[in-house]
């Protein structure tokens, strides 16, 4: 039988990278909220990092930006 609490706890474990016994104490709603917050935060952090990289590369002369990006990030 499908247990929604188990599913959200499993989703939370997947987002965190491992399962913690304490996660079983959260309600389904709390687990879902925490998963959403973690995903939202990670997206926000990734966007901020992308903007910072773009800004930093903007300090290089235009002619070498592509090469600098390739050297720094592969």
Most confident of 18-22, 24-28, 39-43: 39-43
Would you state the pLDDT for residue 7?
A: 57
Query: Rounded to 5 degrees, what angle do the CA atoms 10, 43, 71 make?
Result: 115
- pLDDT-derived band of residue 29, with 50, 70 and 90 as boundaries? very high
Q: Which of 10-14, 57-61, 64-68 has the lowest mean pLDDT?
A: 10-14
Query: Rounded to 5 degrees, what angle do the CA atoms 44, 4, 33 make?
Result: 25
């Amino acid at each position: 039988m499908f247990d929604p609490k188990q599913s959200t706890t499993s989703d939370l474990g997947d987002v965190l990278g491992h399962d913690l016994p304490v996660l079983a104490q959260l309600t389904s709603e709390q687990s879902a909220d925490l998963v959403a917050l973690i995903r939202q935060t990670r997206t926000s952090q990734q966007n901020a990092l992308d903007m910072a990289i773009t800004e930093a590369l903007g300090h290089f002369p235009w002619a070498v930006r592509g090469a600098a990006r390739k050297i720094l990030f592969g």
